[in-house]
Amino acid sequence: MLVIIVLVRISKHLKMKSIQFEDQYLKKDGDGDLVLKQVPCAFLAADNYCLIYDVKPKVCTEFPNTDRKTSHQISDLTMQNIAVYSAAYNIVEKMKELMPLEHKSNRRA
């Protein structure tokens, strides 16, 4: 239901019918979930500006999801995102600057 609401909101913003939006921008993944056809996101301009910023999905708003109690469970997804989305990469790099982590091998006993 939530996916449909987001789909309708974005398609309305783009002045498209929902079915046109789905046909043009979405596909079903292996789990049957709707995902974007294009990577990086079709709505990410060359300057990393979001072309649908006012109606962007919650997942984009919450990225990198560090405020979730279960953020460790989506670390693989975060790693995939930083490989393709320069904005995601920049966010993670800034987090590393602000919260430097000490590698286990560098710890002293």
The mean pLDDT of 47-64, rounded to a whole number, is 82
**pLDDT level of residue 14 (50, 70, 90 thresholds):** very high
Nearest of 4, 12, 14 to residue 50 by alpha carbon: 14
pLDDT at 109 over 50: no
Give yes or no for a contact between 65 and 74, defined as CB atoms under 8 angstroms apart. Answer: yes
pTM here is: 0.59
The mean pLDDT of 46-75, rounded to a whole number, is 75
Q: Between these two residues, 9 and 70, which has the higher pLDDT value?
A: 9
Residue with tokens 């789990």: 31
Cα–Cα distance list, 5 to 1, 8, 10, 57, 92 (Å)? 6, 5, 9, 10, 29
Return the domain boundaries, the chain.
Answer: 1-54, 63-100
Give yes or no for a contact between 10 and 20, defined as CB atoms under 8 angstroms apart. Answer: no
Residue 42: half-sphere exposure toward Cβ, Cα within 13 Å: 12
